Structures are given as structure tokens and as C-alpha cells.
Amino acid sequence: MIERKTTLVLTLLLAALPAAATTERQAGGMTAEEVIEKHVAARGGREAWAKIRSLKITGDFTAFSKVSPFTLHRKRAGDAVLYHLDHKLGDKLVVVGYDGETYWWDNRWFQEGAQAIKGADLAVVERDAEMTTPFFDYREKGHKVKLAGAVTIDGLETLALELERADGSRETWYLDPETYLEVARDSPASDFGRPAEQRTYYDDFRRVGEVVMPFFVESQWYTRDRVMAIAEVEINPEIDDELFRMPLPIGMGPLRALAGTFEVAVASRQQPGAPLEESQRRSTIVSLLGGGLLEERYATADGNQVVRTLSYDRYRKRYQLTQINDATTLLDVQRGDFDDQGRLVLTNLDTGTPLEMFGLTIHERCSIQDVTEQGFTLIRELSIDGGESWFEAEKSVYARSDDGG
């Protein structure tokens, strides 16, 4: 009776042991932390990786059975790692980036021009942007790791580490039990925005300076297969932060300097030959919709409130300016493009939005010129003869404010 009770107690105690203890025995008595430390050491160690402030990696990328060159940049910026990958999926260009604020891509499978990455694709890019494997700083990032024991991967014995990231996503890493370098990883993936599960293989590890890196990375899911074969790695090259910045939408690049806070000197008149009336105002032009729309709100010298916007129609390949004030509440729409002198010239001659007043049809033409980082000039002209002749009604010189407030 005593023996049976003793056996029962021992059985219950063994059953109550935490899973980590069971996996320790399966991994030759090591803990997850011990395995992680061996992995970090095998990759060169935390101290050696901390010395790396930037990386430039080049080689060949294979997708849809087509091989093309790729260039990958990473750069530390405080706690963030800036990221820029220029490659092709099949025969279509895909540029992926992270500027410290926004993960973005110019993915020609969808459309030309940079867009913020969303949905299932976002998590994939966030992981790819990391400088090292997640085990180097998993505690600091709030991840959890469990040693799952010995697992056979394609005939190879491995040690499995189950990683739960701070966001709740899970992946499993398989390490070589002799070298403690990664053999494979199972993780969430995305197939053109649709969630999927992928397996990534790592091979051809080489020492680069003081650290060790895989020169062959292959990812598989469904019938997809992507191969990154590295040819060269540069450690700590000089990389301009501008490379990582999310490009403005198509057409808006030349207008980047128009966003900001300005002191504006205005000279205006109501009719040809009238004396110019000078005034000063302060104006802020805000970049909205990822840089796809510029919006200005200001008050004129006589107290009218004005809202003006400027954008680019990528499909019709033309710029569009809208403006409305609280005096007429007429939404004026002007369209145009850059002329051969570098001026952005827009009119409402063919938009159907001229001002009808005193029996006259008054068209307007706006020209944005002399654009620099310090400011620009906006000239408003009016015509009462259908655009045959114009007179300068207002000239506004924008000078960027030093305080930006």
C-alpha cells in the first residue's frame, strides 16, 4: 500500500514538472537560455554584432524561376534598424524600405509608387528588417522562448526553439545541435497579402569580419520558392538616411519643399494698373495622405478664410490645385503641369470653375516657381477674355520660418 502511494506521488510529481524541464532532458540537459547563448556565440557574439552600424549585402535573388541582382541595406538608428531592399519578383521591381517610422514598398505587382505596407505583409517585412536573429535581444523586445527538444528536419537532427513574439505571433527555429547555427525556420508569411505559413532554410555560413552569416537563404510556401544567394557583404559602409525614406507618391517629389511653415509677403491688386497692396501673413502647408496631398489654410488681409490643396493625378498625369474661401464658397479647380522653365502652371480654363461676377467670367492661373528648400513664389493671374490676356493679381513670396511653429 505504501509502495503504491509512493509510486503515485512520484508519478504526479513528474507529471507536474514544467514543460521546460522535460525539454531540457531532451536537449541533453541544456536550458533554452543555454542553447540561445551558444547560438549567439556561433553567430559571432553580441559584442561583435553591436559594432556593426550598417550593412550592404548584394547577390542574386530568384523568384518565379527568374534570377536577378538584389541590394540590401541595413543601418542602426538608435533602437531601430533602417532597411532597404531593392530586388525583383520575377520580372517586376519591388523596393521595400523602413525609415524608422513607416514600412513601405514600391511593389510593381500592385502599382508603381511607394505605399505604406499593411496587413499580413507588414509582419513579414518587420522580421526581415532585423539586423540579427531575434534571440540576440528577445528579452528586451518582450519575446518568449521555449526549448521544444530534438526535431528532424529533412533528415537532419535539430534543436527546436519555439519563439512567441511580443505581438503574439509564433515561429519555430531549428538549430544545428553541433554548431548551433540556424538550419530552418517556420514562420507566418504572406502570399500577395494573404496569410500563409512558410519554411525558410539557411545554409553556406561564412565569417565576415568578426561575425558569421548565412550566404544562402531559401523560403518556401505553397508552390512558392524564393532564394537569396549572397555574393558580397560590406560592414559599416556609409549610407545616407535618405535611401530609407519613404518616397513621396508619384509626381509629388518636386513639391516636397512646399510643406512647412512660412512667413509670406503678399503684394496684390484688384485690377490691372491698380496700386499694389502689401501685407504679411503666416502660413502652414501640411503634407497629408502619405505626401499625396498638400493642404494650406490661411486668412487673407481682409479676413477671408482660404483652404488650398495641391495634388498629382497619376492616372491622367497632371497636377490639380483646388481652393475655396468663405466669401464665395466656390470650389475653384485648376489643372496643369511644369513648363519648360520649371514652373508649375495651373489654370481653370477647362475645368468649368471660373468666377462669375459683375457679368464677367473670370479665369485664374496659378504659377508656383523658384522652389528651394528655403521657400518658393506663388503668382496668381486673372483673365476676363478667356485666357487671351492675363494680369498679375497677386504675388506671394513664401520664406520658410526658422522656428517652424
Span 289-337, pLDDT tens digits = 989 999 999 998 888 999 999 999 999 999 999 999 999 999 999 999 9
pLDDT at 296: 98
What is the rounded distance in angstroms from the CA atom of residue 156 to the CA atom of residue 174?
10
Query: CA dist 159 to 22, 151, 162, 184, 270, Å?
Result: 14, 6, 10, 10, 81
Check if CATH label 2.40.128.20 holds for domain 253-400. yes
By the 8 A CB rule, do 83 and 128 touch? Answer: yes
What is the rounded distance in angstroms from the CA atom of residue 32 to the CA atom of residue 38?
10
Cell 505583409 belongs to residue: 121
Q: How confident is the model at residue 166 (pLDDT cuts 50, 70, 90)?
A: very high
Q: Bridge-partner residues for 395, per DSSP? A: 267, 379
CATH no., domain 18-244: 2.50.20.10
What is the rounded distance in angstroms from the CA atom of residue 210 to the CA atom of residue 51?
9
What's the pTM?
0.78
By the 8 A CB rule, do 101 and 115 touch? Answer: no
Indicate if the pLDDT at residue 40 is higher than 60. yes
Instruction: Tell me the three state secondary structure of residue 52.
Output: coil
**What count of residues does the chain have?**
405
Cα dihedral sign for 387, 390, 393, 396? positive
Q: What is the largest CA-CA distance in the chain?
A: 118
Please list the alpha-helical segments (H only) found in 327-380.
Answer: none
Q: Pick the range with the lowest mean pLDDT from 15-29, 186-200, 352-366.
A: 15-29
Indicate if the pLDDT at residue 24 is higher than 70. no
pLDDT at 22: 37
Indicate if the pLDDT at residue 142 is higher than 70. yes
Indicate if the pLDDT at residue 2 is higher than 80. no
Q: Pick the range with the lowest mean pLDDT from 119-123, 167-171, 239-243, 351-355.
A: 119-123
What is the rounded distance in angstroms from the CA atom of residue 197 to the CA atom of residue 169?
12
Instruction: Tell me the three state secondary structure of residue 351.
Output: coil
Indicate if the pLDDT at residue 392 is higher than 90. yes
Contacts of residue 231, defined as CB under 8 A and 6 or more positions apart, other chains included, come to 58, 59, 60
User: In this structure, are strands 194-208 and 211-221 parallel, antiparallel, or unpaired?
Assistant: antiparallel
| Number of helical (H) and strand (E) elements in the chain, helices listed first | 5, 24
pLDDT at 254: 95
Q: Bridge-partner residues for 39, per DSSP? A: none
In tens, the pLDDT along 278-289 reads: 999 999 999 999
Cα dihedral sign for 32, 37, 41, 43? positive
What is the rounded distance in angstroms from the CA atom of residue 365 to the CA atom of residue 371?
18
What is the rounded distance in angstroms from the CA atom of residue 219 to the CA atom of residue 202?
9
Domain(s) labelled CATH 2.40.128.20 in the chain stretch across 253-400
Indicate if the pLDDT at residue 14 is higher than 70. no
Percent helix, strand and coil across the chain, each rounded to 5? 15, 50, 30
In tens, the pLDDT along 88-113 reads: 988 999 999 999 999 999 999 888 88
Query: CA dist 19 to 7, 14, 15, 368, Å?
Result: 21, 11, 9, 68
What is the rounded distance in angstroms from the CA atom of residue 13 to the CA atom of residue 15?
5
Output phi, psi for 119, to 5 deg: 65, -145
pLDDT at 357: 87
What is the rounded distance in angstroms from the CA atom of residue 311 to the CA atom of residue 319?
6
pLDDT at 43: 98
Cell 525556420 belongs to residue: 185
Instruction: Tell me the three state secondary structure of residue 90.
Output: coil
Which among 348, 359, 337 has a CA at the least distance from the CA of 386?
348
Which among 256, 206, 211, 247 has a CA at the least distance from the CA of 229?
206
Which among 79, 82, 207 has a CA at the least distance from the CA of 137?
79
User: In this structure, are strands 391-400 and 375-383 parallel, antiparallel, or unpaired?
Assistant: antiparallel
What is the rounded distance in angstroms from the CA atom of residue 17 to the CA atom of residue 151?
21
Which among 237, 212, 210 has a CA at the least distance from the CA of 75?
237
Domain(s) labelled CATH 2.50.20.10 in the chain stretch across 18-244
User: Is 25 or 261 the better-scoring residue by pLDDT?
Assistant: 261
User: Is 395 or 19 the better-scoring residue by pLDDT?
Assistant: 395
pLDDT at 270: 84
